[in-house]
Amino acid sequence: MASSGATFKVAGLVVTDHEVEVPLDHSQPGGPTITVFAREVASPDGGDRPYLVYLQGGPGHEASRPTALPPSPGWLDRALQDYRVLLLDQRGTGRSAPVGALPGLSPQEQAQYLSHFRADSIVADLEVMRLALGVDRWSLLGQSFGGFCALAYLSQAPDGLREVFFTGGLPPIGRGVDEVYEATYQRMEERNHRYYRTYPADKQRVLELHRQLQEDQLILPGGDQLSSRRLRQLGIMLGMSGGQEQLHYILELPPNSPAFLHDLEAALGFARNPLYAIIHEACYADGVATRWSAQRVQPQLFQEHPELFTGEHVFSWMFEEYRALAPMREAAHLLADWPWPRLYDASVLRNNQVPAAAAIFADDAYVERRFSEETAEMVRGLRPWITNEYEHNALRVDGSRVLDRLIKLARGLL
């Protein structure tokens, strides 16, 4: 049974906290347990509406927190017309057994512990919570990595689902991890060229900054030294609406200024959410080891041109340069060679009976469109919406419209 905490109101909405105890390893129900937290949000007259579970992007990021000014998240108003919403903190994030440095554990023990924080475990957590709340079936909204979790749910426990909505997160099936990262580098090459067409003077500014980093030490507010390869990680911003502008506004600041150093550090949230760096590549590991794929397949072009920014890529050196990640360096290397189990059952997806719709963004820098279209064709009954109107963060910038269209698609109203 779920443990329900205090109920309170935010901007007229009724908010209730829920917690459940779940096994750390669902294959060993008698073993160690962790607590998983979710926040229920309902309109004043919507307490008996069906549930829509929101699965946050990431991995390693907690769910959105509802706020009054401005109303956030932006898609919530549309969702509450049909549902009460359950904002899940996926295990390892927020209030759900958040992952830190894991002191007192050996590297092997750390790796073993961290191996239980992928989509398959998140699905199993939700099944425990669904039964604890007495829910027959509920719907899912998966953003980015949340969509990966939603597809795993559709594959592993479809009997618990009414509808599934994907936005920027329909993962590849049957594609190797190296194929995934090769595709993302191609997208990032395009994004770099687009950026420098918009801000041509920034190319020289970036090259000069790289030269400065070879000669001088720039220390970030958290105490880490800024390196050229960390600077290049700012490219993660280029896959989002407004990301070009945000990157330019950081780079136009004087490199020695507190504003530059603070803004750059804040833009790279690996220290706040270490789970992202630890299991990002494992999210694509459908029955294979990753072996630092993004590092291995980086094109020669990126190695020869330091002005090219990287994207949603993680590298082994991060566990040396980021002091927040350093305590898990050996565990990260173990996980790079981990024999990850399968995430998806293609036969189940080919015979899917759950109404589903997916927003696929034509120029998505993080989830390759071609691979998402292949998955959409595999999942029986899934209706894709392929659009170039948005970037990867469409749900954040125009959430009500995006969710409304997905609901109508899944219900056959479009």
Are 219 and 72 in a shared domain?
no
Mean pLDDT of 179-191: 97
Are 314 and 215 in a shared domain?
yes
Residue 69 has pLDDT above 70, yes or no: no
pTM of structure: 0.96
Question: What pLDDT is attached to residue 7?
Answer: 86
Distance between CA atoms of residues 63 and 73, nearest Å: 10
Are 369 and 349 in a shared domain?
yes
Q: Tell me the residue length of the chain.
A: 414
- For the segment 4-40, what is each residue's pLDDT rounded down to a tens digit? 777 888 888 999 999 999 999 999 999 999 999 999 9
Question: What pLDDT is attached to residue 12?
Answer: 87
Which position among 144, 155, 293, 372 bears the catalytic label? 144
- For the segment 42-60, what is each residue's pLDDT rounded down to a tens digit? 999 999 999 999 999 999 9
Are 270 and 291 in a shared domain?
yes
Q: Which domain holds residue 15?
A: 3-173+344-410
Question: What pLDDT is attached to residue 73?
Answer: 85
Are 229 and 307 in a shared domain?
yes
Which position among 61, 116, 280, 392 bears the catalytic label? 392
Question: What pLDDT is attached to residue 1?
Answer: 58
Angle CA(390)–CA(396)–CA(197) in degrees, nearest 5? 45
- Secondary structure class of 178 (helix, strand, coil): helix
Are 69 and 185 in a shared domain?
no
Q: Tokens in use for 370?
A: 């071609």
Are 23 and 160 in a shared domain?
yes
Last residue of one domain, picked from the residues 336, 356, 371 = 336
Are 140 and 60 in a shared domain?
yes
Distance between CA atoms of residues 267 and 263, nearest Å: 6
The CATH number that applies at residue 103 is: 3.40.50.1820
β-strand 382-387 against 356-361: which pairing, if any? parallel
Last residue of one domain, picked from the residues 336, 357, 375 = 336
Which position among 89, 120, 364, 404 bears the catalytic label? 364
Are 143 and 211 in a shared domain?
no
Are 147 and 292 in a shared domain?
no
- For the segment 237-273, what is each residue's pLDDT rounded down to a tens digit? 999 999 999 999 999 999 999 999 999 999 999 999 9
Are 14 and 38 in a shared domain?
yes
Number of domains in the chain: 2
Are 154 and 201 in a shared domain?
no
Q: Assess whether 392 carries a catalytic annotation.
A: yes
Q: Assess whether 144 carries a catalytic annotation.
A: yes
Last residue of one domain, picked from the residues 307, 336, 365 = 336
